[in-house]
Amino acid sequence: MRTSRLFTVIDSHTAGHPTRTVTAGVPPLRGHSVREQRDDFRAVHDGLRGLLLHEPRGHAAMVAAVPVPSREAEQGLFFISSYVYLDMCGHATIGYIASLAATGALPQGFEQNGMSIETPAGIIHVSGTFEAGELTSVVLRNVPSYLAAADVTIEAEGLGTVTCDIAYGGITYALVNASQVDLPFDINNASRWCHAGMAIKEALNTGSGHPQVGSVLFHHAIEGGARHLVILADNKFDRSPCGTGTSARLAQLHARGELAPGAPYRAENILGVPFAAKVAEVAHGNDGQPAVIPEVRGMAHISAFSTLVLQADDPLSAGFLPS
């Protein structure tokens, strides 16, 4: 067999959402910061995104975590999804740490002190809980997160008038109470929720004058928190409760006076698997706006240790993603 490329990867899922941690095969990248290295990957090697994440080696929901050197933190990490480059990704950070733990690659002292990670969105801090030396959960302290706009009203195609808040948690989200959409809030209706989410995103992002959003988070109240369904893109939704979306929710609830620092917030995915979250600290955003440091705790499980191969004569070397 003649191969033209080989990548070693560890696949995990965080409450159902996949992370492909790439441990070898990515060419050296130019740039000082993690953001610059991520931008170099995008400019020079974007073809690898299809190879690593699209069919036949991946699928629409796949997200890669790519470790790179950092000058600012103990490690650097950037995130590639099948459809876009994410500045920050909570579920993939949790998947990355679980992958390091599964291969004995957590840095020395992690169990006591955790570590800092530079991401394109900024520096985060991760630590873990352990039982008899085994990682049992990953605790992520995210970048400063804030409410960007409250009580925004838009007309969304097929839905009519929708009210939402817009908040940043490493990615910017429209936060929408799911009761405004006449659909059962369950996984069997995921593609219809995707349609609804995309209609809201489109209405916000095409000349509404409101902050642009990357994704739409629908929330449905439960005891001690909410069930989340995050619509990422056409036919793509987060299977996890979404780390950056949960961070945006914490910022929203804190700004509205509905969640005190330290109070627990249970963020469940659409299948009922939770993240445990809280406002860890009150802080300031990059532009001095009132913000919070969110803390999100969850766990990932390993699903494969693989070597991805591109055979030299593969006619579909770029991969493909059915829409």
Q: Which residues are catalytic?
A: 89, 242
Restricted to residues 25-64, the positions that interact with ligand PYC (CB under 6 A) are: 63
- The DSSP code for 145 is B
The residues that bridge with 137 in the sheet, in sequence order, are: 129
Can you tell me the distance from the alpha carbon of 127 to that of 118, in angstroms, rounded to the nearest whole number?
14
Provide the minimum distance between the beta carbon of 273 and ligand PYC in the complex, in angstroms, as a whole number.
13
- The DSSP code for 71 is S
Element (H, E) at 20: strand 17-24
Can you tell me the distance from the alpha carbon of 307 to that of 10, in angstroms, rounded to the nearest whole number?
9
For helices 90-102 and 243-255, give the axis angle rounded to 10 degrees: 130
| Residue 245: closest CA among 282, 208, 209, 270 | 270
Return the number of the residue (86 or 135) whose C-beta is nearest ligand PYC: 86
Q: How far is CA 153 from CA 127, 134, 146, 163, 166, in A?
A: 39, 47, 19, 4, 11
Return the number of the residue (127 or 142) whose C-beta is nearest ligand PYC: 142
Provide the minimum distance between the beta carbon of 248 and ligand PYC in the complex, in angstroms, as a whole number.
9
Provide the minimum distance between the beta carbon of 258 and ligand PYC in the complex, in angstroms, as a whole number.
22
Return the number of the residue (126 or 310) whose C-beta is nearest ligand PYC: 126
Provide the minimum distance between the beta carbon of 311 and ligand PYC in the complex, in angstroms, as a whole number.
30
Applying CB under 6 A, does 138 fall inside the site for ligand PYC?
no
Return the number of the residue (26 or 232) whose C-beta is nearest ligand PYC: 232
| Residue 65: closest CA among 21, 2, 108 | 21
| Residue 240: closest CA among 173, 297, 193, 294 | 297
Residues in the chain: 323
Binding mask 62-91 for ligand PYC (x = CB under 6 A): -x----------------------x--xxx
Restricted to residues 282-311, the positions that interact with ligand PYC (CB under 6 A) are: none
Provide the minimum distance between the beta carbon of 275 and ligand PYC in the complex, in angstroms, as a whole number.
9
Binding mask 222-251 for ligand PYC (x = CB under 6 A): ----------x-----x-x-xxx-------
Judged by the rule CB under 6 A, the positions of this chain that interact with ligand PYC are 17, 63, 86, 89-91, 232, 238, 240, 242-244
